[in-house]
Amino acid sequence: MKKQHAHDYSPKTMDALEEIENLKISGQHQESIKKAQLLLCDDPNCVAALEEIADNHVSLDEFEKARKAAEHALKLDKSSYTAYYILGFIESHFRRWPASVRYLARANELHANNPEILRCLGWSTFNSGKRTQGIIILERALNLDPENSLTLCDLGVCYLQAKQFDKSIELLKKALEIDPDNKRVQECYQAAKNFSKRFSELGASVPLLAQRNVRNFNRPVTDFKDHLILY
């Protein structure tokens, strides 16, 4: 993840941040956290280290620890869009949609037209009840990153919930072509085809069935490590 801040970090700090980032990318989250904590001992105001700690904790499903690190980062720097993004994702994980939208909207204000922020914002907006707006935001994210299988899947699920089966199948099929081993995409694609078939066979009775069963897909399609690809 490229850092957003213009702080004049020393060469030593920059080297440490690079090591922390590489450890995180390789999945060595605990070691990455330890290195970031050591960096904070030398520089307690290093916002980037706090962001890395929050990021790693979310990858480990340690959401309260991630929240504390993100909130600490915001105390030091109110312009940390990564911290707002992390807090927004945490709220979406627990399906607290309005709070998630507030955090993600703020992240988008600070760092506009980032496809990953827009993807998460669109998903939370859709699930907060503003379905049309959520789909529009997800379409923007897809326009910025057309080959992103995660955005394709999220948008496909939204269209599935909106009972636009043909559009849903089209998007999910493309997501599956890009990422054929993604189990979540496979499940959503199969569900869209099944609901479309039932709709054709049974007509008006299917929307109620689809509305009830599609709730099983009312969650993000990936782990957080796939979300934090910020540019």
Q: Does residue 69 fall inside a structural domain?
A: yes
Q: In the prediction, which pLDDT does 201 show?
A: 76
Per-residue pLDDT tens listing for the chain (231 residues): 344 444 578 899 999 999 999 999 999 999 999 999 999 999 999 999 999 999 999 999 999 999 999 999 999 999 999 999 999 999 999 999 999 999 999 999 999 999 999 999 999 999 999 999 999 999 999 999 999 999 999 999 999 999 999 999 999 999 999 999 999 999 999 999 998 988 887 764 544 444 444 444 444 444 333 433 333
Q: How far apart are the first and last CA of the chain?
A: 7
Q: Which domain holds residue 68?
A: 9-74
pTM of the model: 0.85
Q: In the prediction, which pLDDT does 203 show?
A: 63
Amino acid letter for position 7: H
Q: In the prediction, which pLDDT does 64 show?
A: 97
Q: Does residue 23 fall inside a structural domain?
A: yes
Q: What is the CATH number of the domain that holds 62?
A: 1.25.40.10
- CA–centroid distance for 143 within its chain: 17
Q: Does residue 87 fall inside a structural domain?
A: no
Structural domain count of the chain: 1
Q: Does residue 62 fall inside a structural domain?
A: yes
66 burial level (CB within 10 Å; 0-12, 13-18, 19+): buried
Q: Does residue 64 fall inside a structural domain?
A: yes
**Alpha helices of 77-164 — where are they, by DSSP H?**
81-93, 97-110, 115-127, 131-144, 149-161
SS (H, E, C) 18-81: HHHHHHHHCCCHHHHHHHHHHHHHHCCCCHHHHHHHHHHHHHCCCHHHHHHHHHHHHHHCCCCH
| Structure-block tokens of residue 231 | 């540019």
Q: Does residue 57 fall inside a structural domain?
A: yes
Q: Does residue 110 fall inside a structural domain?
A: no
Q: In the prediction, which pLDDT does 226 show?
A: 40
Enclosing H/E stretch for 14: helix 11-25
Q: Does residue 48 fall inside a structural domain?
A: yes
